[in-house]
Amino acid sequence: MTRFDLLTRSSPLAMAQARMWKDRIESLGHSVRLLDVSTHGDRDRRRHLACFGGFGAFVKALEDRLLSGQGHGAVHSLKDVPSVQPDGLVIAGVLERGPRGDVLVTREGLLLEELPEGASVGTSSLRRTAQILRARRDLKVLCCRGNVHSRLRKLEDGHFDAIILAKAGLERLGIKVPFRELPFITSPAQGAVALEARE
């Protein structure tokens, strides 16, 4: 039996996704240890994600550890992985893709068209921002960073009238909240969980 060390972010969703890979590898007769790593995106939760310049805010720290010989693989949401990988690293596998859609979460379970004029919508995605404003130019879109639970707390505390989340994240965390599916073009690979390894 071989033991594999898998690197992961420490957020509840990242750990849930890492456990999916852990279960898959252990089903083949190996043992797996999960090692959490703090990333640039985890440490800086105030700036909009676009400010990071596309270098992989949630990925680079794990890749640096892999390249230095720490860990056998790193678990990522595939949508966070830049299209060009560092020399020496490859995507070793991708689990069966989960739901790929975006959802609108409100305290009342409202549809997008039912939000009151001028309502505040929280997201950290430029893609989601553009599509919200295309559908409802009267809405106020505000930056909302943090893990799924912290964003839901901000909604519950009244910082936003609505937030946009990935449906896959809610399902993987077992969170039951009122939501409405959005007819948005989603991020490439949203809902897919990848394992990156040294070549």
- Half-sphere exposure of residue 23: CA atoms within 13 angstroms, side-chain side: 7
Check 42, 80, 102, 161 and give the catalytic one.
80
User: Catalytic annotation on 80?
Assistant: yes
- CB contact at 8 A, 73 and 3: no
| Strand partners of residue 198 | 89
- CB contact at 8 A, 128 and 149: no
Residue 126's CB: how many other CB atoms inside 10 A? 12
Residue 15 DSSP SS3:
helix
Active-site positions read: 80
